[in-house]
Amino acid sequence: MTFASNDFMPFFSNRFFTQYTSNKFLHLNDNAEATLVTEVALGVHSDLFCIQVGWEENKRSGQRQKLLKALRYIWSHPVIKPFGTPAPVQCPRCRGLRTWKTECHTRDSVVLRCKKGSNCFTQSFKRTPSAEFIREWTPGNEGLWMKKTEMVKPLQ
Ligand SMILES: [Zn+2]
């Protein structure tokens, strides 16, 4: 596992690693997604990369193939970090701090509007189609993790 944040602060991963090691060694579940479902502090701070080796059946030849995979887990929150992109702290027009209000929030898009005025500033975010939510998206959710396959490489 590794992290995407350029200025990574380990403090924000403490809760995640405590829960992950508990799941792995006490409950014998080393699937990171089971831990991420309840994790917020890490998601606000950084994406998580999981690099793993696994087996997959080749659809053409029918043979099993050993693969190296890099998965990126991205936390998405409709106001703080829509689809993994941090919303600006400051409105570029009125310079207000944390003035964003969710105007539209669907599975694939988020529109934020500045609360200072009806025509102050609006910004839109779109979900990258290759990033899927790890749990079912529901209207009104307040933060979900998404998974994106960054790399798949066959191994000998
Ligand atoms: Zn504004």
Q: What is the pLDDT of residues 68-83, one digit of tens each?
A: 999 999 999 999 999 9
**Cβ pair 89, 81 in contact under 8 A:** no
Closest listed residue to residue 143, CA positions, set 66, 61, 84: 84
What pLDDT does residue 142 have? 80
Distance 103 CA to ligand 1 centre (A): 14
Distance 2 CA to ligand 1 centre (A): 36
The parent domain of residue 113 ranges over: 2-155
CA-based torsion, 132, 138, 143, 144: positive or negative:
negative
Q: Mean pLDDT, 10 residues at a time, over the chain (156 residues)?
A: 92 94 93 91 94 87 91 95 94 94 94 89 96 90 92 88
pTM score, two decimals? Answer: 0.88
**Cβ pair 94, 114 in contact under 8 A:** yes
- Domain count for the chain, please give it: 1
Distance 121 CA to ligand 1 centre (A): 5
Distance 105 CA to ligand 1 centre (A): 19
Distance 38 CA to ligand 1 centre (A): 32
Q: How far apart are CA 114 and CA 101, in angstroms?
A: 6
What pLDDT does residue 92 have? 94
| Residues paired with 114 in a beta bridge | 100
CA dist list (Å): 30 to 19, 23, 119: 11, 6, 48
Distance 26 CA to ligand 1 centre (A): 49
Distance 99 CA to ligand 1 centre (A): 7
Distance 12 CA to ligand 1 centre (A): 30
What pLDDT does residue 33 have? 93
Q: How far apart are CA 79 and CA 100, in angstroms?
A: 7
Distance 101 CA to ligand 1 centre (A): 11
What pLDDT does residue 141 have? 78
- Beta strand spans in 58-143 (E): 64-76, 100-105, 109-114, 122-126, 132-133
Distance 5 CA to ligand 1 centre (A): 28
Distance 94 CA to ligand 1 centre (A): 4
